[in-house]
Structure formats: C-alpha cells, structure tokens
Structure 1
Amino acid sequence: MLDSTKKWLLEITISVENVSGGRTEKSILYHYLVTQSSHQTIIEINQQPKGRMKIDKEQNLYAIHKVPILDVHESYKITTKIVIEARDIDFPFNASKIDEIPKSLVQSNCKPLKYWEFDDERVQNIAKKLLEKSDNSVYNYLLNVFRYTWHKIKIRNLMKDRLGVLGVLESYEGDCDEFSDLFISLARAVKIPARRVVGLSLHETDDKVSFMYHAWAEAFVPGVGWVSFDPALKKFASLTKFHIARCRMGTVSQRSLLTLKYKIRKYDNIFNLNEDILVLRL
C-alpha cells in the first residue's frame, strides 16, 4: 500500500545584495513562506536570522526582516528551514446550490481583477453556456468548468508571460497559470468564490527531489469550505502529497513572494534580490 503522506524539508535562502553605487540605508523585507492548507501541516520552522512571523487574512505565513545598512556589493542572507507533512486528499462534495454561497465571500472573492476579467463578454458567454448545463449545482458547474479548461487549453510548459483569462481566450494555450486563471474567472463569473494558489510541484526519484514552480485554484463549496482544483495536472477536487502550497491569493490576483521596501537617499539604491530553494525528503 502506498503511503498517502510525505514529510519534506524546504530550505529557502534569500540573498539581498547592494548593487548600487553607494551605501544603502536600512530596508524591510517581506517574505511569504508557506500557507495553511487542509492538505499540508507545518511541523517546524527555523530561521536565521529570525524575522517576525505573521499570518495574513488568507492564512499565508510570512516573515518580516529588517535588512541592515549594506555597503557596495555587500549581501545579507536569510535561511529558512520548514518541515512540512503533505498528504493526498480528495475533497468531499454535496448537493449545494450556487445561491447558497455566503454573500460576504462573494463580495471578497468574486471581483474582476487583473488576469480574472470575467466581466468580459467572451467569459460571460462561456459561463452562461456551462451554467445552463449545471442546474445551479456548485459541483456540476465546477466539473463543467474543469472539463472545459482541460479540453480547451493546449499545454505549453514554462510560458514567459502570464496571459490571464483574456490572453488565454486568444491563444487557448498556456501553462499552469493559464489553466488556473481560466478556471478562477469562470467560477467567479457565476459568483462562486475562487482564488489562486502558488507553490511547488515536486518530483521524487530514488536519490533526489526536484520541483517546478506551480499554480492551481481553490473554489468555495457551501458546507465543505475551500476545495482545491489543479486543472493543469487533472486534479479535480484533489491534491497530492507532491503539492506544496506557499501562498494563496483571492483578494488580489498577484502577490510577490519577496518584497523589499526602502527609501532613496543620495543614490538610486538598487538591490539584487534572490530566492534559492532546496527540497529534501525526510
């Protein structure tokens, strides 16, 4: 019998380098680490030097660091080690109807944002046709959206730019971003709250663990909660122990995992900001 859980060690190293023409002033680094999720449990976190840990409204864990004054070409490094237990999960469904979804969630997670412009006529027309076949059922509609997304988009790995729903309706090709953006937009078009999750898709061999940066979607189901969908990997209402969720976003459509805030004095301060990730099997 295959084990349905895995423990992973994520070692994340951040490097902040002063590549400007002068000495920098103190700055503040915001670093999104992992998110609370029904398919993964955070076992342990060690960080050197330690930052101030916070959790935002979407259950994303992030760290705040005070970066010291840096001389020209001087670097400041932060290493974070996170032990995560991830599990295979199949989400339950019920006979809930779309109009049973709480209005507060609709208001916060059904806005037409960049990449999710569901108020576009083309998106509305597709949503209308899919809804007609769904009998106002959340399950039926999301299943129809999932099938439409998978059958319509031609997979192109590692697209240079994120196209968003309007771009994908022009080309009907893309990577995981385009799959999830189309799914989210069509869900929001009928007032089903949906949001984006970014993280890692792991691949395990006998001697090492490799990964790709990955994105998928979550949609709200009354009586169940937030349910995961990964149309790019054909995972309907399910995730695997090889998914690691780092950040979810529903009130915004894009969030940088690394943000450095600083003021400019005498020089135009320029920082080289890098994140390196190593994943180990425990």
Structure 2
Amino acid sequence: MRITVDHTTHYRFDPPKRGVIQSLRLTPSVFDGQIAVEWTIDTGPAMRGAAFRDGAGDWIETAKHVGPISEAHITVRGVVETVDLTGVLRGHREVIPPAAYLRSTRVTRPDLALADLAETAVAGIAPDRALDRAHALMNAVADAIAYTPGQTEQGTTAAEALALGHGVCQDHSHALIAAARLLDMPARYVTGYLFASEDEAAQEASHAWSEIFLPDLGWVGFDPSNRICPNDRYIRIGSGVDAAEAAPIRGVVRGLGDEIMDVVVVVNQAAQ
C-alpha cells in the first residue's frame, strides 16, 4: 500500500521563550515492511543540528529555536510504501538487547489488577507458545480497557487506565507492555501512523501500539486498540520503553510560562 502523511505540530509560548531545543523522532523506520518514497521534515527557521541513528534503530534529529520565540511549527510530509508482514519487524537493525525492555517505568509499573489480567489471559497456554500468549494478552487488554477518547490524560498510568476501564491507544499500549513484562516478555511502545477505514475502532491517524519480543520471531507488533498485528495500513516511526521515551518530539524550553501544542495529522491512501 502507498500511504501519504501530512503531520503538522504547532507550538505557542506565552510569554515568548529564550530558546527551545527539540529532539525529533519523525522519520519512518527502516525495515522490510516499509520504505519511504518521499519524506521531508520542515522546522521553519530553526537551526538543524546533530542527526544520528540510536541504539533502537530510530533516526533522531535535533532542532534549535533561538529566542525570543513565541511559536514554532514542525511539518512532516511524505509517502511510504508498505507491505503486510503480520506485525513482524523483519530486517530492522538495532543494538539494544531485548532484555533492556523488561524494566518498568512510572506509567508501565504493574499493580495487582494488571498481574491478575496477565495471569488470567495466559492461563492454560504453555510458556513455549509465546505467540499465543502475546495474542491472548492483547485481547485481554482490549477487553478490559474500552477505546474511549477523552477519558485519560498524557500521564495516565497503565494501572489507572485499567481501573478506569477506558482509554486510548497510549493506554492500551502501556497496559499491554506492563502485562507482557510481568510474564518476562520484553515489550516496548511504538509510535507511528495508521490509515484507518471508517469501520475501524481506532481513528487516530497518529497512532501507537506495542511490540513484544518472541524467541522465534523477534519483535512483533500488537495493537490492542484494533485487536490486530500491524499490517500494511501502519507506518512505524520509533520505539521506547514507554510513550515519553518514544515521543516523536521531545524538547527543552528556556523560560517560564505556558506552552500550548496543536497537532493535525492527515493520513491517506495514495494512488499507486
């Protein structure tokens, strides 16, 4: 499938800041499931700095805005060719060992309810059937947390979302990661884009899902929000131990005051 992306992030600062430095994880991953035909990142007057591929295989760039600065725009546009690998991250090069993704963070720290969900989901499934256990965890999270926009916030933890019974793709991903790690299955948070048809549950074009490391397959994606492994409708951008580490844009602001962010993402299928 050929997918087009138009992604604009607009920051407003009040009062103006003395400077802003941003780390951008906005370039499609390099693996057998996708290839960027066209891809541009426009940071306006910001000075582009270091660019490198990190240990997880993600391409990172930096942008520096010299103040006083009252607003900043970052625009991403591109075309990506995708193929369906049923969620398997084949051909992706990285150096961080899977065991590094067993550690918990504030938002993925499990509680007794998450432990019960994980144990119940895989009851009767032998440990050597890792793929079946991962699918069972995905479905259990989808059953326990209804996809409901507006019920949670950026900092909502997996345990809080499970207790609430509502959430979005971020909450689904954090809950699945927490459950998988409880079973000693390395798991991580993935950001990207989704070309969603009208009959699909998750309509967020800017999307998130989880990857679980399976001994025989390597990293495999699981999307509880849609109860599927990522297919050719997905564009993978980057990963991390949780949403904060995998964020497409991370920044440091010099100066006090308010920061307002508006994001518009349009994802479409292009003519072949």
TM-score under structure 2 length normalisation: 0.76
Deviation at 1:91?
4.6
What percentage of residue pairs aligned between the two structures are identical? Answer: 16
Instruction: Give 1:40-79 correspondences, 5 Å limit.
Output: 40-48=34-42, 51-52=48-49, 53-70=51-68, 73=70, 75-79=71-75
**Aligned CA distance change for structure 1 residues 159 and 199 (closer, same or farther; 3 Å):** farther
Residues 1:165 and 2:158 are matched in the alignment: yes
Say which one has the larger Rg: 1
Q: For residues 199-218 of structure 1, what are the structure 2 equivalents within 5 Å?
A: 199-203=192-196, 212-218=205-211
DSSP 3-state at the match of 1:144: helix
Does residue 193 (structure 1) correspond to residue 191 (structure 2)? The answer is no
Deviation at 1:109? 0.5
Unaligned runs of 5+ in 1: 93-102
The correspondence for 1:154, drawn from 146, 149, 168, is 146
User: In 2, Cα distance between the equivalents of 1:243 and 1:80?
Assistant: 16
Task: Give the letter for the 1:156 counterpart.
Answer: T
Alignment of 1:79-90 (within 5 A): 79-90=75-86
Match of 2:169 in 1: 176
Post-superposition shift, 1:276? 3.7
SS at match of 1:117: coil
Determine whether 1:254 maps to 2:244: yes
List aligned pairs for 1:13-24, cutoff 5 A: 13-20=8-15, 24=17
Q: Which string of whole-angstrom CA distances, capped at 9 and with x for unpartnered residues, describes residues 218-259 of structure 1?
A: 100113211011121010xx3222223333212x45234323
Q: Distance in 1 between matches of 2:109 and 2:126?
A: 24
Measured after TM superposition, the shift of residue 187 of structure 1 is 0.8
What secondary structure does 1:143 align onto?
helix
Q: Quick check: 1:35–1:59 contact (8 Å CA) kept in 2?
A: no
1:158 Cα deviation (Å)?
4.2
User: Which residue of 108, 115, 138 corresponds with 1:116?
Assistant: 108
Distance 2:197 2:113 in 1: 40
User: 2:195 is paired with a residue of what secondary structure?
Assistant: strand
- Counterpart Cα distance in 2 of 1:113 and 1:227: 21
Counterpart in 2 of 1:220?
213
1:277 maps to: 265
1:54-111 CA distance string (max 9 Å, x none): 322222223211213336x5x454443332112223257xxxxxxxxxx9522x1011
Count of matched residue positions in the alignment of Structure 1 and Structure 2 = 251
> Deviation at 1:200?
2.6
TM-score, normalised with respect to structure 1? 0.74
**Contact 1:116–1:253 (8 Å) recurs in 2:** no
Shift of the 169–69 alpha-carbon distance from structure 1 to 2, 3 Å rule, reads closer
CA distance in 1 between partners of 2:170 and 2:34 (Å): 22
> What is the letter of the counterpart of residue 277 of structure 1?
V
CA distance in 2, matches of 1:204, 1:128: 34
The residue number in structure 2 matching 1:98 is none
**Corresponding position of 2:7:** 12
Q: Is the 8 A contact 2:102 2:187 kept in 1?
A: yes
Provide the secondary structure at the position in 1 that maps to 2:206: strand
The amino acid across from 1:69 in the alignment is G
